[in-house]
Amino acid sequence: MRLVISMAAGLLFGLGLTVSGMTDTAKVQGWLDLFGNWDPTLAFVLGGAILPMLLAWRIADRRETAVLGTPIPARSEPVIDRKLLAGSALFGFGWALVGLCPGPAMAVLGYGGTGAIIFFAAMATGMFGYGRIAT
């Protein structure tokens, strides 16, 4: 059942990324181009995605466990450290360079050609490398 839900969530996430236009790097870079030809689409995507999750957290935070028995993830300690800020800044920099964040980088992997594969491979290398250094 767990595996079915994982696949279903992945499929719906991938479909949402495609329908919303977030797999189009021109749209994402257009959103970041605040002082140029600004494209507000991403605000609607983020807003639309937050709505169901507001409701989901209201339900989840009143329960101990999810339907399949796993504990509801604990709230993170409200600690703002250098890793959070530096990591997010690095991410924002790379996001602007190409217009892909990790979700869309996976979504375009099957049809985005060589460029999509190169970006994904570099991203995976970065993730692996950081994991090696951090642990």
Partner 1 sequence: MISSDWIYGLIGGLMIGSAAALYLLVSGRIMGASGLLGGLIDGTGRANLAERALFIAGVIGAPLIYGALFGFPETNLTTNLALLVIGGLVVGVGTRMANGCTSGHGVCGISRFSLRGIVATFAYLFAGFATMAVLRPWLGVV
Residues 89-118 that bind partner 1 (CB under 8 A): 89-103, 105-113, 115-116, 118
User: By CB under 8 A, is residue 67 in contact with partner 1?
Assistant: yes
- What's the DSSP call for residue 33? -
Residue 53 DSSP SS3: helix
User: By CB under 8 A, is residue 127 in contact with partner 1?
Assistant: yes
CB of 81 to partner 1, least distance (A): 9
CB of 123 to partner 1, least distance (A): 4
User: By CB under 8 A, is residue 131 in contact with partner 1?
Assistant: yes
| Residue whose pair of structure tokens reads 């970006």 in the numeric block | 119
Q: How far apart are the first and last CA of the chain?
A: 32
Say if residues 105 and 120 touch (Cβ distance below 8 Å): yes
How many residues bind partner 1 (CB under 8 A)? The answer is 117
User: By CB under 8 A, is residue 62 in contact with partner 1?
Assistant: no
CB of 28 to partner 1, least distance (A): 9
Say if residues 123 and 36 touch (Cβ distance below 8 Å): no
Residues within window 10-49 making contact with partner 1, judged by CB under 8 A:
10-27, 29-30, 32-36, 39-49
Annotate 78-118 with DSSP letters as a single string. ----HHHHHHHHHHHHHHHHHS--HHHHHHTTTTSHHHHHH
CB of 36 to partner 1, least distance (A): 6
User: By CB under 8 A, is residue 52 in contact with partner 1?
Assistant: yes
